[in-house]
Structure 1
Amino acid sequence: MHLNSAPLKIGIVGGGPTALLMFKKLLDHGDQNISVDIFEKKQLLGAGMPYSRHGALDEHVTNVSGNEIPALFSSVEEWIAKEHLHTLNRFKVDASHFNDYKVLPRLLFGRYLSDQFKALISRAKQANMVVNVHFGCEVTDIIDDEQAGVCHIVHTNGIHQFDRVIICSGHHWPTRHEGKVKGYFDSPYPPEKLAHRTDHPVAIRGSSLTAIDAIRTLARANGTFEKSENGDLSYILDQKSPNFSMLMHSRSGFLPAVRFHLEDSHLSKDAVLSADEIARVMAENDGFLPLDHVFKRNFLEPLAAADPAFYAQIKDLSIEQFVEKMMAERERLSAFELLALEIKEADRSIRERKSVNWKEMLAVLSYAMNYPAKHFSAEDMQRLKVSLMPLISVVIAFAPQSSVNELMALHQAGVLAIVSVGDNSEVLVNENGEIVYTYADASGKKINTVYQTFVDAIGQSHLEMKDIPYPSLLSAGTISPAMLKFNDQLLAQKSHESGDEKIIKYADGSYYQLVTGIAINDHFQVLDRYGATSGRIYMLAVPYIGGYNPDFSGLDFGEAAAKLVTASMFPIQESLEDELLT
């Protein structure tokens, strides 16, 4: 129990999936002497952007199934069994043939999450926890009053004071040209803006799940999908859109891999390195956690147990050599030839309930390395981003079967193609207001193509500290930019002296690499300009912590972060619970 007579007042900024998981952890903790205020700028709790009409239409589906998500008030299967028939009919879901291994339409999943939030709030109030939800309430500033030891949340309807503030504001899509340049879209969201006839070629930047969202909406606005008696899917172009087509511009030229059966549906949450191991390894390596150690512990070792034959093929390879081997195998085929093979592999995996082990272990690695990544050296973080992350981003996207089947149908209809544009492509708006996509093809020839419609669909970008929409956090120095120390200080010094603006010399004379977002500690507490934390403000908003959390996304990540936040708020109780569990 919280020992003070006055309740610990907690403010949560945002009411989406991360806020839902955070609220559940606070409720599960069992401390009734707290109060929780939730500030949501929309009128719906739980769904956030991805699972509401701000991020999805009826055609968009989740890339996770019910058995893969953290436990909430009830399971997806239990909820579906009780949902209104007209809602299930709208989304073509048959409750009698549904189970927790199936993916859902995103809007339906959003209803599930919203109902879970309502149920948890009801349970909290029954337990005498004070809960206030502020709908239609946009937070415009957060002020950390160090002298008074409190925080203030400033919003469109007033100002509230709290002991702790947890920022769960979710996705953010800055605009560059949208609304100013006709046909230019800085993101595919909300998708209604793409749901209209487009009788000309469309450029799509990226080939991620975000790109698939745009493709599914554009395709339906300009044609129809039809399924034959034997189950084959085809795409029929609308007669009023004879010139419609879509070209994905991908850095690597790869499409996301297809969902398969996961042996461990929660991706080995217990695989995260313990604090003791991290401390021991850092002590042995000049204060750094080596990326090679994490790769060995969270990829190679579990792979050796799960798939000894595959492990034998790659056990002696460095990270770079492993990535080169896996990428080379993908490069042997065109993107859609590879996709056709992966569809068959995934179908077999799901039918036989047998994992594709190396892909699953790569997902485990991505999950497990996220939290200790802030302890990498600057050199290792660069290795991660340049070498390992491009493979991870392709392989563990887990594109749903229905999505990739539509991609194949569109490609076979001659409506969808993909081109590799490398790292130096540009999208420019010329003096005539035309959208020009510029890149070099495989032969090095420069390509300049003018498009009437361009959709930036590379997914959520890692944003900089200056993009945070709470001015007092910036002006007061409550937050600071994320940075990583170099292992090779002499080399870093030379790069700094040669003008590399991303390398800074710190007050102690050491050299650091600036990375995206803000600095946080292991409990997601923000660090100020002096590297200290007040302990009052927590940052769980994905776009602003990408520098220290290179692949922070998904409900599993949100649940783990919420547990760390709760542990820092109630350290004595959490340690006692851990001892009891042990």
Structure 2
Amino acid sequence: MDKKTAKKKIAIIGGGPSGLFMYKRLTEQASADFEITIFERKDYLGAGMPYSAEGANTEHITNVSDNEIPAIYTSIEDWVKIAPKAILKKFDITEEKFNEYKVLPRLFFGEYLSAQFNLLKKAALKKGIKTKVHLNCWVEDVIDFPKENSVAVCVKNKNKAYFDQAVICIGHNWPKKYEGKIPDYFDSPYPPKKLALKLNHTVGIMGSSLTAIDALRTLARKNGKFTDNEDGSYSYSSDSKGFKMVMHSRSGLLPAVRFHLQDSHLGKEETLSKTEIHKSIARNGGFLPLDFVFEKNFKEIFIKKDPAFYEQIKNMDLEAFVGAMMGYREGMEPFDLFKKEYEEAEKSIEKRKSIYWKEALAILSFAMNYPAKYLSAEDMERLQKVLMPLISIVIAFVPQSSCRELLALHEAGVLTIVAVGDDAKVQPLETGGADYHYKINGKKTVKHFDTFIDCIGQPHLSFNDFPFKSLIKNGTLSPARLRFKSSEKGKADMKNNDLVSREEDNTYFLTVPGITINDHFQVVDRNGISNQRIYIMAVPYIGGYNPDYSGIDFCEAASKAVIDSILS
């Protein structure tokens, strides 16, 4: 076939939600000039880890509803009309009872995502787009061949397959560090079936995020039951003597509760444009000031949306705002605050009225992904130390049913939470479980847990954790770094931080988690040259430049950036 008429061969490595959105972008184009090959290690497409048995049991639910999910091929509401009856029956869902504003069982959502892949494949076939799907296959390596302008995908026990471009969409990954070596120590709560444990002692849980709530819901069901009482209350009774759970977080705070969103897609059109961002970079010596982003992507939104709130915060800088918000939260007993926010969120949903400052914080968090790579090292440190702790609490959007369960567990004396500060350490023990070292009012404390679960959520993985080693060995990739604006600050930090390095021209850099990418999610080599063949949408490996894990929203935005580049 003549090269001018040859179809572009594109590999999608990973068939979870990221791969699904990438496939959608490719197949919805007017042109049929693609041949697409999808590599997936499991025996199904679409669900990925979070929405399959690898990441959920029947008790686990999404924290988003149909009206908040970007369109794929059909909405969930429309899919329910054509879904297999066996699936609907399994999850007790009917067309008549379906509500686009309610959260869903995660496993049901996984079925929906898998169905979307199948619908897209049928639509692609009608358009003449050829799709090959390899299930149950393990991609061992990816190799770039610049001279041949091609990429090889190496599958275990198979010959190399060559492509014009590859989009790496591998998903969540919790490396096992102690699990399997230390009895009763778990590096993550996934897959949740491993936590179906009957226990007669206190379980230590590191973290208070949605990941921790997943663990709580599984453990609670194995060791007791929840009851909807006639008076409208909700209670828990344990049938395992001695069973308790203790959550641990830096601030001792529980995540905030899901409320009604004024804009179900978080007003992304109201954030800074790329033109505005790059004008600011040009004005500020090649850096994008975090204070500028905070002002434009957060504070100024309230001028129209909530003038009264704007008057309260208009003179606050980033630190002052976070201090005020965290100070309020830390001033209340965690479960009292949680109950108050639950009641506030119930009113928000009932009246279809947003708690707008929280919604705006979610907008800001999502909007940080594009410009984060242009921050100075100093501002990235501020982002991670000052702003992200507040964001991680406020935008968790804990579903109402999860809130009721946590409150019932606490009222039953089964669940507590402890603030451990910034310097806490976990010491896994060869004999089993772990010791938790932290301070209370300045006094050193050590608590032992026979069973311990790390529930801090998906970690930002390092450059060296990336699984496709030829890309590292051959210099195709480079570690993500940010330059210090102040050489003096870089020099001072270098004395106590191995992640800070100095270049020959006396500039200092901070190495941040993961891989260097550009605005189109193309990987960038050690010479700063973007690769036109390899894209990466694998969030665990781009955390340094992509600090917000926004789930489906991320998949939508990243796939748009990738397809724009592929078509350019």
What TM-score bracket applies, with the shorter chain setting the length? over 0.9
Shift of 1:172: 0.5
Does the 8 A contact of 2:247 with 2:417 survive in 1? yes
Q: 1:204 maps to what in 2?
A: 205
1:91-115: CA deviations, max 9, x gaps? Answer: 2334312121111000000000100
Q: 2:512 maps to what in 1?
A: 515
Q: 2:234 maps to what in 1?
A: 233
Does the 8 A contact of 1:137 with 1:157 survive in 2? no
Does the 8 A contact of 2:433 with 2:452 survive in 1? no
Q: 1:470 maps to what in 2?
A: 468
- Structure 1 counterpart SS, 2:456: coil
Shift of 1:432: 4.0
1:354-393: CA deviations, max 9, x gaps? Answer: 0001000001111112111100111111111111100000
Q: 2:165 maps to what in 1?
A: 164
Shift of 1:506: 2.8
When the two structures are superposed, what TM-score results if normalisation uses the length of structure 1?
Answer: 0.95
Shift of 1:87: 2.9
1:382-423: CA deviations, max 9, x gaps? Answer: 111111100000000101001111000000010000000111
Deviates more, 1:455-464 or 1:487-496: 487-496
Q: 1:420 maps to what in 2?
A: 419
Deviates more, 1:111-120 or 1:422-431: 422-431
Find 1:546's aligned residue among 532, 543, 550.
Answer: 543
Residue identity opposite 2:289 in structure 1: P
1:163-193: CA deviations, max 9, x gaps? Answer: 1111100001001110111100000000000
Q: 1:53 maps to what in 2?
A: 53
Shift of 1:331: 1.2
- Structure 2 counterpart SS, 1:343: helix
Residue identity opposite 1:190 in structure 2: P
Deviates more, 1:385-394 or 1:157-166: 157-166
Aligned counterparts of 2:504 and 2:43: Cα–Cα separation in 1? 46
Residue identity opposite 2:291 in structure 1: D
Find 1:457's aligned residue among 451, 455, 458.
Answer: 455
Does the 8 A contact of 1:271 with 1:368 survive in 2? no
Aligned counterparts of 2:399 and 2:499: Cα–Cα separation in 1? 38
Aligned counterparts of 1:449 and 1:478: Cα–Cα separation in 2? 46
Matches within 5 A, 1:337-352: 337-352=336-351
Does the 8 A contact of 1:434 with 1:450 survive in 2? yes
How many percent of aligned residue pairs carry the same amino acid?
A: 52
When the two structures are superposed, what TM-score results if normalisation uses the length of structure 2?
Answer: 0.97
Shift of 1:507: 4.9
Q: 1:379 maps to what in 2?
A: 378
Aligned counterparts of 1:431 and 1:18: Cα–Cα separation in 2? 38
- Structure 1 counterpart SS, 2:231: coil
Deviates more, 1:365-374 or 1:2-11: 2-11
Matching of residue 214 in structure 1 with residue 215 in structure 2: yes
1:256-284: CA deviations, max 9, x gaps? Answer: 10000000000112134322212211111
Q: 1:33 maps to what in 2?
A: 33
Does the 8 A contact of 1:259 with 1:346 survive in 2? yes
Aligned counterparts of 1:345 and 1:492: Cα–Cα separation in 2? 44
Q: 1:322 maps to what in 2?
A: 321
Q: 1:407 maps to what in 2?
A: 406
Residue identity opposite 1:165 in structure 2: A
Does the 8 A contact of 2:207 with 2:454 survive in 1? yes
Shift of 1:433: 4.5
Residue identity opposite 1:271 in structure 2: E
Aligned counterparts of 1:167 and 1:301: Cα–Cα separation in 2? 36
- Structure 2 counterpart SS, 1:537: strand
Matches within 5 A, 1:174-573: 174-238=175-239, 241-430=240-429, 432-441=431-440, 443-496=441-494, 498=495, 500-571=497-568
Aligned counterparts of 1:429 and 1:367: Cα–Cα separation in 2? 35
Matches within 5 A, 1:52-91: 52-91=52-91
Aligned counterparts of 1:271 and 1:29: Cα–Cα separation in 2? 27
Shift of 1:434: 5.0
Aligned counterparts of 1:134 and 1:74: Cα–Cα separation in 2? 24
Does the 8 A contact of 1:542 with 1:553 survive in 2? no
Aligned counterparts of 2:359 and 2:432: Cα–Cα separation in 1? 46
Shift of 1:27: 1.4
1:62-101: CA deviations, max 9, x gaps? Answer: 0000011110111111112333444333323343121211
Does the 8 A contact of 2:39 with 2:139 survive in 1? yes
Does the 8 A contact of 2:227 with 2:234 survive in 1? yes
Shift of 1:302: 1.2
Structure 2 unmatched runs, 5+: none
Aligned counterparts of 1:465 and 1:25: Cα–Cα separation in 2? 28
Residue identity opposite 2:485 in structure 1: N
Does the 8 A contact of 2:166 with 2:534 survive in 1? yes
Q: 1:115 maps to what in 2?
A: 115
1:33-90: CA deviations, max 9, x gaps? Answer: 1111000000111000000000000000000000111101111111123334443333
Shift of 1:311: 1.0
Q: 1:132 maps to what in 2?
A: 132
- Structure 1 counterpart SS, 2:392: helix
CA 430–60 in structure 1, closer or farther in 2 if over 3 Å, else same: closer
Q: 1:580 maps to what in 2?
A: none
Residue identity opposite 2:197 in structure 1: H
Total equivalences in the alignment: 566
- Structure 1 counterpart SS, 2:453: strand
Aligned counterparts of 2:357 and 2:476: Cα–Cα separation in 1? 42
Q: 2:143 maps to what in 1?
A: 143
1:293-322: CA deviations, max 9, x gaps? Answer: 111111111122111111110110000000
Aligned counterparts of 1:105 and 1:10: Cα–Cα separation in 2? 33
Does the 8 A contact of 2:47 with 2:113 survive in 1? yes
Does the 8 A contact of 2:254 with 2:393 survive in 1? yes
Aligned counterparts of 2:283 and 2:233: Cα–Cα separation in 1? 57
- Structure 1 counterpart SS, 2:530: coil
1:462-503: CA deviations, max 9, x gaps? Answer: 01000011110111111111011111123213433x353211
CA 272–567 in structure 1, closer or farther in 2 if over 3 Å, else same: farther
- Structure 1 counterpart SS, 2:42: coil
